[in-house]
Structure formats: structure tokens, C-alpha cells
Amino acid sequence: MILKNPLFAVDTLSQWNRNDIKTKKFQSFDLKKGIDIGYNKNNAVWCTLKIKNLDNINTQSKWICLNNNDLDSISLFDNNTIKTLGDRTRNISPFIEAQAFEVTLKPNQEKVLLFRIKKIVSFAKFNFYLEDESALIQKSNHKIALLSFSLGIVFLVILFNFHLYYFSRDKIYLCYNLYATVTIIYLMISTHFAKNIFFNNFLYFSELRIYSAAIWMIVLTLFVTTFLGVKQTQSKKYNIIILLNTINLILISITVFLLLINKNEWLKPFFYIGYINFTIIFFFILMNASQNLKNNRNSAIYVLAAFIPHIVWGTVNIFSSFKIIGYSTPHNSLIYICFYEILMFGYILTQNYISTFQRNNELNREIILEKEKTLQTITNTQIRERRNISNIIHDNFGSKIAHILQLIQLKNNDLAKNNIEKLASDIREISHTILPKSLDEGALISSLESQIPSWNLNLKNTSIEIFSYDFPEKIQEKWIFDMYLISLEIINNALRHGQPTSVIIELYAYSKHYLFQFTDDGKGFDPQVIAKGFGLENIEKRVLFYKGTLDINSSKNNGTILQICIPKI
């Protein structure tokens, strides 16, 4: 069988009937290129085709197909028989691959077929071709199998990512699952899988296809921008993308309203604005991914590898709709692109989770080692301090007490009294060194100042200084003892790890909070690489207990600034 003499005419008001066709002027079209009437406002296209059986002996049956599954209605007038298919009908094609009508011709028979094609709102482009039933069955089965397999894999990936979110609490996995779910919905609608398999009687798949595509693109761009960290690294571009997506959501709402009030002629500018917005968003995402090649190379490469096929597909379809180019994407390309994209991002997120898990394990091991070292240091320090106290009591106090007893026996009371007073002074000094008595009165500044001379005396190349700005001499706060011990611990950490030449302590009092700043010019460290040790972890817990905050600003070879902010009660 062959098709020949293709003719078409456009009924701009959709008012013609079958009897009017004889009086209308038709024009020919190329069966290789098909018919493209551009943006359509409730037009109907009438087509006539001659079909001839070239076999002189056998009766033949063929299926005449249209390559556009998105048409609202297609009516075939074959003598007195009328067959109808399309999105706005309850009739479905026997094949998910194409809208197809069976035509049977006797040997050497020729007949003229009349079609009426309707697309209420959107771009109207279609073509006719002949296909064997076996080929249509094979293509449809292949498409159903491909879709079913893809959907099954995607569901497994979604479940796996919920598992990853449960353990990591990283919202990127929820964003991915939202994107994957919307992709599944869009694929089922755009490939006629939903209509042919599940919802035969639903009459608004044409509109649903457009809106699901728009929402799918919005979710995709939000996922990609979250994955790239655009909000944190390039806030201006992120705000532009959010603004454009917000405009697209508003456009969707407006077009739905216009459809409800049957103002189809007003829809065209909103379609164009939506296409332009998505093109700009694509451009920004590609630009951001390219710029991230320096800072976040792996993520940028992954996004470019996953997103470029989608960009190409979307750009080709947009340009084709505007008739800038005459090429359109292959029929099943969207399925392959979406499936590839979902699997690619699923693989990337899984790899990121594994890398993060391994890095956390390594950090945990380092923290455990640091805790063990710190506990050992604390134990050694306690033993050393207890030994010092024991030596002071035995060597100093013990000998002095024995001397005082000897003086009492010799009845030299005046000298004994002098020695007792001196012994009492030594005991007060040692007690003040361990925990200054002035802390009981809230004198934090004087308590710290009392320790500085002994520190500086034992340090060769380092000086410690303390300054206060509007900080009260005496302060009655619950945290006064903790803050004293925290200050000692921070200074000891700076001296032990930073090897500074200068350590400065600054105390500030503001209307609503107190600020403690510790600055050293030591070696510094990278807080993103080196986890908080046991000492800093304990300091942070004690600060948080008083609803305060701990901030650390440090980098290699640039010293460290540690700030503690505690609110006033």
C-alpha cells in the first residue's frame, strides 16, 4: 500500500462539516515533512489522502498512523464509517506507539480517506505514515517494557533515597525524590502510558501534559540548584531562578483560569513567556555549573553530564515550536533522557552519601583518638597537680608545722605566731591559685588577671594580656565559675597547639549579652577539615547550657579567634 496526493485545509473557526469540504480549497503537503500550522487557536485541520493497494491478487490491511500522540481528536471518515481517537475522546489507539486506524483494501483498490484533526490550544504539528500491525505491536511492546522497567528502577531509587535521607537528614535526598516522582508522572502522561493503561476516560491529558511538563521543569531546576549549592555560592543567580520559576507558576495559574473561562485566544503570550523563562533558567544553570568547575569540580561535572541531554532536548523543542529550526527530537528520546538523568543523579547522591559516610567514620576515629589523648592528658595533669599539692603539703607545710611545734615547745610564742601567719598566707595563695576566692564575689576579671603574671613568668616567647570594655568588675551570673575554667582551658589549648607569641583575652558587656574573645597569632587550623576535639566539644556544651554561642574563626598560619556570646538573664 502507498499514500499519495496529500491535501489539507485549515478551518480556523472549527465550523466545517463533512458536506462543506467539497467547497473548500485544499493545498498539498509533503508526506516527509508533514503539516505544521504553528500555534493553534481552536483550529481544525482537514486532510485528504489517497491510499492504494498495489497488490493485484491479495487483500491487504495496513494501519495509517499519525506521529503526534498529543492531538485532542482525530476523526477518520471512511465511506459511511467514522472512527475517532485522541486525548479529548474516550477512544484509545490499540497501540501506545501511535494514533492508528486500520484500513483494508481489496486487490488493486484505491480510496480517498478524509481526516479531521483537532488541537484546541498549543502547537499543532503532525504527519501520516503507514505501518504493519506486527511492527506497531513490536514498537508498542518495546515502549511499554521500556517504560515499565524505567518506572520500576526509579521507584527503587526513590525508596533507596528515602533510606539515605533517614540516616543523613540531608534535604537533597527529599529534593531528588520529589524530582524523580514528578518525572515519573510526566513520563506516564507524555508517553500516553497513563491514558492507554490506567485512565482511558480522562479527557484532559493535552492540558495535563503541558502543565506537568512545566511543573517538572520547575522541580528539576530547584533540585539542580540545591545540588550545586547555588543559594550559598551565588545568591543573585539563585534569586533570579526562583523569580523566574515563581513567574512560571503564576503563568500556569493564569492559563488554567483562561481555559476555564474559555479564553483560548489569550493563551499564546503566556506560552511564549513560559518558554523564554525556561530557556533563561537553563542558561543560568549551565553557567553556574561551569563556574563551579573550579570550586566544586565533581558536582559541576556530574550536573553537566546529567543535564546537558535535557538542555539539548528542551532547547530543540522550544526552537522547533518557534519554527527557528525544522528539526524535532526522536519519538522516545524523552524516556531515555529522563531515565538516564534520574539514574545519573541517583548514582551521584549515592556516591556522595558513601563518601560522606566514610569521611564521617574517619572523623569519628580521629575524634575518638583525640578524646583518648585528651583524657590521658587530663589524667596526667591531675596526677601532676596532685603530686605538686602533695609535695607542697609534705615539703612546705609539713616542715613549717614541725618548726612551729618546736617553737611552741620552746615557748617562743611570738616567733611561732609569725610562722603561723605566714603559713596561713601560703595556704590562701595556693587556694587562690586552684580556684580564686574572688570568684565567689563575681570578680571574673580580677580572677583572670591574678593568673596572668604566673603564666607570663613561665613563658619564654609568649605574652598573655587581658582587656575589658564596659565589663563589670563584679558580676553575679551562674556561669561565672564555668567561664573562668573555660578561659583557662582555651588559653592552655592555644599554648599547647598554636605555639603563639601573643594571646589576648577581651571581655565585652553589651545591653543584651556578654562577649568573650580569645585571640592568638599561632599556627591556626582549618575548622572545615579538623573536627572539634574533646576540649572544644566540652566548652561548646557548657556554653550551650547557658544558651550561648561558640564561634571559631581560624585558618592555617593566620592564628585563631574564638568568640563566646552569652545572653544576659
Q: Does the pLDDT at position 529 exceed 60?
A: no
Q: What pLDDT, on a 0 to 100 scale, did the predictor assign at position 101? A: 92
Residues in contact with 113: Cβ distance below 8 Å, sequence separation at least 6, in sequence order: 48, 49, 50, 51, 64, 76, 77, 78, 103
**Average pLDDT over every residue of 343-371:** 71
Cα diameter, the chain? 150
- Residue 175: what pLDDT? 83
pLDDT given at position 506: 93
**pLDDT band with cut points at 50, 70 and 90 for residue 114:** very high
Query: Which of 219-233, 393-407, 449-463, 519-533 is predicted with the least confidence, judged by mean pLDDT?
Result: 393-407
Output DSSP code: residue 266. Answer: G
Please determine, for residue 367, whether its predicted confidence score (pLDDT) is greater than 70: no
Of 212, 215, 239, nearest in space to 225 by CA: 239
DSSP 215-273: HHHHHHHHHHHHHHTHHHH-HHHHHHHHHHHHHHHHHHHHHHHHHHTT-GGG-HHHHHH
Note the pTM of the prediction, 2 decimals: 0.55
pLDDT grade, residue 317 (50/70/90)? low
Q: What is the mean pLDDT of the chain?
A: 79
Give the rounded percent of residues in the chain with a pLDDT score beyond 90: 14
Percentage of residues in the chain having pLDDT higher than 70: 80
- In eight-state DSSP terms, residue 112 is E
CATH number, domain 436-569: 3.30.565.10
pLDDT at 292: 67
Given this chain, do its domains 2-131 and 436-569 carry the same CATH topology?
no
pLDDT of residue 432: 53
Q: What CA–CA distance (Å, rounded) separates 453 from 443?
A: 17
pLDDT, one tens digit per residue, over 484-505 is: 888 888 888 888 888 889 999 9
Between 512 and 332, name the one with better pLDDT. 512
Task: Say how far apart CA 43 and CA 119 lie, in whole Å.
Answer: 7
The residue type at 429: E
pLDDT-based confidence at 565, cuts 50/70/90? very high
Architecture in CATH of 2-131? Sandwich (2.60)
Q: Which of 221, 219, 356 is nearest to 288 (CA)?
A: 221
- In sequence order, the β-bridge partners of residue 116 are 46, 75
Query: Is the pLDDT confidence value at 46 over 70?
Result: yes
Helix H, strand E, coil C: the string for 501-521 is CEEEEEEEECCCEEEEEEEEC
Q: For residues 159 and 287, which has the higher predicted lDDT (pLDDT)?
A: 159
**314 near 231, Cβ under 8 Å?**
no
CA distances for 343 relative to 152, 157, 515, angstroms? 12, 8, 50
Taking only the tens place, the pLDDT of each residue in 422-432 is 766 666 656 55
How far is it, in rounded angstroms, from Cα 71 to Cα 90?
A: 13
Is the four-CA dihedral 188, 190, 193, 198 of positive or negative sign?
positive
pLDDT of residue 299 exceeding 80, the answer is no
Residues contacting residue 408 through CB under 8 Å, at least 6 positions apart? 416
Residue boundaries of the structural domains of the chain? 2-131, 134-364, 436-569
Phi, psi torsion values for 40, nearest 5 degrees: -110, 130
Q: What is the pLDDT of residue 22?
A: 83
